[in-house]
Every structure is written in C-alpha cells, then in structure tokens.
Amino acid sequence: MDILNTYQKWLAQARKGYLELCVLLVLQQKQGTYGLDVLQTLESVGLPINEGTLYPLLNRMFKNGWLTSEWVPPSDGGHPRRHYQLSEVGKELLPQMLEANNNNQKSLDHIQELK
C-alpha cells in the first residue's frame, strides 16, 4: 500500500468527527444556514471539503438528531434551500465536543514537547 493511500485513509478517519464538530460550530456561529454556505465557509477558513462528503454528513447529523432543518425559499427566488440549525441535542453536544477536542490538542502539544 503506498503512503499516499494510507495517509488518505487515515485522514478520512480522523476528519469524520472533526468535520462534525466544525459543521456544528459553523451552524452555531451563523445561527443556521444551508449546505453550500457551510461548504464555502469551511473552505474560507482553510478546511476545503468535498460536496459528496458534506451533504451526506449533514444528512447523517440531521438523522442523528443533532440538527433540525427546514426548506427556505431564497429572497431572490430560485430553488428552496435546506437550512440547518442546531437542535437541542446539538446545542448540548457542541461544548462537550469542543472541550474534548481542545484537550486532545493540548495532549498532542504535550507529547510533542516531550524529550
């Protein structure tokens, strides 16, 4: 197995939970928005993500009860957008996930400082 393939598999595994956290954060900061906007926001902060990854992820988070959704017609007309918001479960999860992620980052820093 070549190194690139191995790295990509590891990355996909590592990003799954991380992406969920990032999506929750974006939705909290924006007080709800739709898929394309989440995609562009993540890209703008240096976290490009494939459409084929984001939409199924949003759908799974919705099914898990972390998000709620509603169809909102855009003010300038066009196809209605599916807007997502944090559900009560999502609101409770987010700070816990953030804390766990921060702790992981600190642990990683400590490890790197070890001699």
Partner 1 sequence: MNNNQYIAALKKALSGLDKSSQNDILQEIRSHAEESGDSLIERFGPPEELAKQYLEGEIVATPLGQKIWGVSKKVFVTIGITVVALIALASLLAWWWTGDGFDYADETAAELNSNTASWQSIDWTDDLTLSLNQTSTVFYWHDEMSVRSNCKGKEPLQIEGNTLRIHRAKCLVYLPKVATTIQSYQSELVLVRPQVSLDMDIKQSQLRVAENGEKYQLLIEATRTKIDDLASHADATIKLNIKSEESMISEYSY
The residues binding partner 1 (CB under 8 A) are 34-36, 50-53, 55-56, 59-60, 63, 69, 71, 74, 78-82
Nearer to partner 1, 52 or 112 (CB): 52
Are 54 and 35 in contact by the 8 Å Cβ rule? The answer is yes
Nearer to partner 1, 7 or 71 (CB): 71
Question: Could you tell me the end-to-end alpha-carbon distance of the chain, in angstroms, rounded to an integer?
Answer: 32
Nearer to partner 1, 11 or 108 (CB): 11
The residue type of 55 is Y
